[in-house]
Amino acid sequence: MTDHEDATSRALVRALAVMDSCYSGKLDIDTLCNEAHFSRYHFIRTFRSRLKETPHQYLMRKRMDKARELLATSGMSITDICFAVGFDSLGSFSSLFRRAVGWPPSVYRARSIAQRNFPRKYIPACCWIMFGFEN
């Protein structure tokens, strides 16, 4: 790896660290560019080339992952989850969630609870034994 590539990797790691720790807040592209010491154009181009997704796509994915976790495991309301993962509009959150996961947040939550409470209803009996779920 050349010195230039090495510096680029370090810059992207810094930007990723900011996104990973601050995804629930107001993050704009200029903040990330400053963190990476890149121009806006160079940052987006380099990010996409290395990570095969744009900074915006990466951020949305982080937010959706956290939303899935909270919907499945917490008692927080969907509105609170929407704000907790960095959205300020329930409508945008719901439609993006549906596009990303395939279900609206409320349906995803209901399915997660049902699956956790009644797993036998969702897993064929042969697999139940084969996967060692019996014990």
Partner 1 sequence: MTATISHINLFVRDQKKAFEVYVNKLGFTVNTDITMDNGMRWLTVSPPGHPDIEVLLTEPCSPMMKDEMVRHIRAVLEADAMPGGVWNTDDCEKAYEEMKKKGFEFLKKPTKEFYGIEALFRDGCGNWFSLTQRPPKE
64: amino acid identity, one letter: M
DSSP 44: H
The CA angle 89-116-95, to the nearest 5 degrees, is 20
# of chain residues touching partner 1 (CB under 8 A): 25
Closest CB 3 distance from partner 1, rounded Å: 25
Distances in Å between the alpha carbon of 33 and those of 16, 21, 41, 124, 133?
A: 11, 16, 9, 49, 48
**Are the beta carbons of 30 and 38 closer than 8 angstroms?**
no
Query: Among the candidate windows 10-18, 25-33, 76-84, 123-131, which touches partner 1 by CB under 8 A?
Result: 123-131
Q: Which residue, 21 or 135, is less far from partner 1 as judged by CB?
A: 135
53 binds partner 1 (CB under 8 A): yes
Closest CB 53 distance from partner 1, rounded Å: 7
Closest CB 70 distance from partner 1, rounded Å: 14
Question: What is the spatial distance between Cα 95 and Cα 17, in angstroms, rounded to a whole number?
Answer: 27
Closest CB 34 distance from partner 1, rounded Å: 26
82: amino acid identity, one letter: C
123 binds partner 1 (CB under 8 A): yes
Q: Which residues bind partner 1 (CB under 8 A)?
A: 51-53, 61, 64, 72, 100-103, 108, 111-112, 115-116, 119, 122-124, 127, 130-133, 135
